[in-house]
Amino acid sequence: MELYPWQNDQWQKVMRMRGRMPHALLLQGRNGIGKRDFAMALAQSLLCDQPLTDHSACGQCHGCNWFAQGNHPDFRLLEPEETSGSSGEDVSAEPKSTRKTQISVDQVRTLADFLGLSSHRSGLRIILLHPAEALNQASANALLKMLEEPPPNVMFLLVTHQPQHLLPTIRSRCSQFDMPIPARSVAVKWLARHGIKQATQRLAYAGGAPLRAMEQDDGSEKRLTELHSMLARAGGMDPFAAAALCTKEGVAHAVDILQKWTYDLLGMNLTGITRFNIEQAASLQGLAKKVDLRKLLDFQRVLTEARRFARHPLNAELQVESLMIQYTQIFTMPPKP
């Protein structure tokens, strides 16, 4: 597996530990910077029969071929599972694939047999969990028991976007390895090389995470531009039309948009600087003169709470409409026509 250009320093650091790898390594950093791919490259390297001079995997040996096919006998990957199911309303409909949000205790328990086996080739067995914060209480406790008494020649690789959501006892039993966001110039160059237009703006909106900047398609970008135009109308915005633009993509998506917008609105109010919506600086500058700062701060707390329950099975349309209505109420006066 090929590393991203901003991961070279981290690769050299972890390779200096190659001869004395910890039994558990926690890779932590922002979502969308390639931590999972880095962990996969590390696992393949450690299981490779003939690593290259920079310790990356050769890609040619039996171990690398098994790894590429997803069936290396000394490697296990634990992620939230995809399951098939249907709404039950139309028996003729094709079952839809839904993404689970948790790593279950049954998934962790399946590792018991794997840990009881001897290594097939390299003398090392590797377990990769991604994202580690997807562990629920039961599965986290099951994993903790394995980390407390690790079998010989077993390495756990945990990847997390939110280390604060892990059990402190799990974090304390791992060597923590920070994965910083890439330098903007490196990330912009990489995005441009992959055909991303307005790479600087896309990267800023993604919070500096280039893989997240890659995810936005033309359709969603067009809807986002339209929504930003609506948000710029402040108290004069039609909250129901605004909600209709983002309801289909879920409450979490709407909350993310509003959090970034209000963060920049506060930033413009206090410092005159935007972080995420750099193309909308002029609109935000005008809105900053009309916003009630106390109401803005209260609304940001509402959004923080809404994010916690974004996946709750409530009516998404009603939730988003409520947030949009509250947004229109944080301004002291309507914008001038």
**Is residue 84 over pLDDT 80?**
no
Q: What is the mean pLDDT of residues 156-180?
A: 96
Evaluate whether 177 touches 7 at the Cβ level (below 8 Å): no
pLDDT, tens digit, 9 for 90 and up, residues 37-80: 999 999 999 999 999 999 999 999 999 999 999 999 999 999 99
Does 334 reside within a domain?
no
Taking residues 237-253, what's their average pLDDT?
90
pLDDT tops 70 at residue 311: no
DSSP per-residue codes, 121-181: SSS-EEEEESSGGGB-HHHHHHHHHHHHSPPTTEEEEEEES-GGGS-HHHHHTSEEEE-PP
pLDDT of 333 above 70: no
CATH number assigned to the domain comprising residue 319 = 1.20.272
Burial class (CB in 10 A: 0-12, 13-18, 19+), 255: buried
Q: Is residue 80 part of a domain?
A: yes
- Pair 147, 57 in one domain: yes
**Per-residue pLDDT, 309:** 78
Which residues span the domain enclosing 205?
184-216
Based on the structure, what is the number of domains in the chain? 3
CATH number at residue 53: 3.40.50.300
The whole-number average pLDDT for the span 201-215 is: 94
Reduced to 3 states, what is the DSSP secondary structure of residue 308? helix
* pLDDT digits 0-9 by tens, 101-110: 899 999 999 9
Q: Same structural domain for residues 211 and 224?
A: no
Contact between 97 and 148 (Cβ < 8 Å): no
Question: Percentage of the chain surpassing pLDDT 90?
Answer: 75
Residues 133 and 228 reside in one and the same domain: no
DSSP 289: T
| For range 18-29, the mean pLDDT | 94
Q: Is 202 contained in some domain?
A: yes
Extract the tokens encoding 73: 């006998």
- The confidence score (pLDDT) of residue 221 equals 85
